[in-house]
Structure 1
Amino acid sequence: MSGGYLAYREFALEFPADLRLGLNLGFYRTFAVPSIAAVLAGTGKMVARPKERAKATGTLMFTLIERGMDGPDGRLAVAQLKRTHARLAVGNDEFVYVLAAFCVTPVRWIDAHGRRKTTVGEKRAAHGFYAELGARMGIEGVPDSFDALADWMDDFERRAFAVTPEGRALWGATRGLLAGRFPRPLAPLVRAAADALLDDRLRDALATPRPSAAVRMLLATVLAARARWWRLIASGRGG
């Protein structure tokens, strides 16, 4: 575990903001799976206190990313995830899907909008981290490579994504949180154009209208500016 964990940790350290944003986007994808959306919306906490619930999930994930799964904090985080998921009325495929969404979505985001594309080794590290987490949580059937997991995720979404009141409510409650993942001057623009951050498949499943060409162009400009900003920060660190 240590080698794979360290490689993924280095990846996270190089792309801190992109990874957090990608994890947010991965979490939002789960809203489009009816069985998962029903569970997330069932208690009312995610809709009533989205920022608090998102922070709790993020804290657990970054404890594992930053500290690994073998130390006291990592073992406690895994145990907490196991307890939480043991109570959820969803099948094994849904658990595999959540792992896939957290693994694949950030990598795809970075490849599309980061300051550089990810490497084969970084994809391997991401897959290894989530496959190990799945094994420790008792989740079966996780595909054995990043590409296989990505293909499995796409196929699952084609079969499972559907519009539900719960999914729409979850997206409505949490869409504003995306603005916090961008530099402060860009946040108001992102808040207004949050729906444009979703791909067509997810947008259709959340019954969110396709943004206008003007909004999509504005977002593309914002994302390009963000990538340049992170390249400048990275070059400053290198100097």
Structure 2
Amino acid sequence: MNLTAEQERRAHATYRRLAVVDFPEDLRLGLNLGFYRTFAVPAIARVLTGTGKMTGRPKARAKATGAVMYTLIEHGLDHPTGRETVALLNRLHAHLPVGDEEFVYVLAAFCVAPLRWIDARSWRSTTEAEKDAAFDFYAGLAQRMGIKGVPGSYTALATWMDEFEERRFANTAEGRALLDATRGLLADRFPRLPTAPVRAASDALLDERMLVAFGVEPPPSAVRGLVGAALRWRASRLRRRHRHRGPNR
């Protein structure tokens, strides 16, 4: 799907507002959750553990990944800084031993997982226009990176992602090592986590498919209840804040 420059500009403006203005904390946490999902794909987990950076220096590696994504979100794909960042991504990914399906999956995880988190846990659900804008943004990135096989809409991409996970998620030593190395980072992304052990609180943010893929026991019901209550309180607080700001915030 080829968009005009004006269509891409509008899609970027909508997605940037979603990420920077309306849901800054949620979008960032959702991107983290999307990144965690990639640990359950054996081929991707092997690449991420192969360099040793994700397990040896998880905070620095996560910060670098976040910086790349937010450079693209802030500036757009066709801004000079955005083009430089896309060129960097192309260099970094040029010789990785994974196929197009894995690359499509990473894009899907970054596109779909944050919006699903927002829809389930934040102060309002995303609109169809916002979902379309997110899809157009990541489809544009895929086009610039030469990634083939991206489905043609947000809904199709979300369905493809679920089907891919059913086929490809697996419990591997590499995936477990990545999860263990980065659990604390996930907890740090969520403000005011309840004072439960970090591991259990972090695991409460993972869905059943991820827990099964990592071979992790569901956290105790008390921890799940505390995390759920904290998320509901947070959503209510954000809803009141945005209501006071009004539509022209």
Query: What TM-score bracket applies, with the shorter chain setting the length?
Result: over 0.9
* 1:210 matched residue in structure 2: 218
Question: What's the offset of the Cα at 1:4?
Answer: 1.1
Question: What's the offset of the Cα at 1:180?
Answer: 2.1
1:143-172 CA deviation, whole Å, 9 max, x = no partner? 010010000000000000001100000000
1:156-214 CA deviation, whole Å, 9 max, x = no partner? 0000000110000000011111222222x436448341111111111111111111211
Query: 2:194–2:227: 8 Å Cα contact kept in structure 1?
Result: no
Identity of aligned residues (%): 60
How far apart are the structure 1 equivalents of 2:91 and 2:231?
38
Question: What's the offset of the Cα at 1:232?
Answer: 3.3
* 2:229 matched residue in structure 1: 221
How far apart are the structure 2 equivalents of 1:188 and 1:235?
29
Query: For structure 1, which segment, 206-215 or 138-147, has the greater mean C-alpha deviation from structure 2 after superposition?
Result: 206-215
Q: How many residues align?
A: 238
2:16 to 9, 21, 24: 9
1:163 to 171, 180, 184: 171
Query: 1:8–1:122: 8 Å Cα contact kept in structure 2?
Result: yes
Query: Are residues 1:92 and 2:100 paired?
Result: yes
Question: What's the offset of the Cα at 1:236?
Answer: 4.2
Where 2:217 maps in the other structure, the secondary structure is: coil
Question: What's the offset of the Cα at 1:231?
Answer: 2.1
Structure 1 residue ranges (4+ consecutive) displaced by more than 6 angstroms after TM superposition: none
How far apart are the structure 1 equivalents of 2:229 and 2:194?
13
Structure 2: tracts of 5 or more residues without a match: 1-7
How far apart are the structure 2 equivalents of 1:215 and 1:186?
10
Query: 1:41–1:166: 8 Å Cα contact kept in structure 2?
Result: yes
Q: How does 1:68-79 map to 2 (within 5 A)?
A: 68-79=76-87
Structure 1: tracts of 5 or more residues without a match: none
Relative distance call for 1:229 and 1:186 in structure 2 (3 A) is farther
Query: For structure 1, which segment, 173-182 or 155-164, has the greater mean C-alpha deviation from structure 2 after superposition?
Result: 173-182
Question: What's the offset of the Cα at 1:72?
Answer: 1.5
TM-score, scaled to structure 1: 0.96
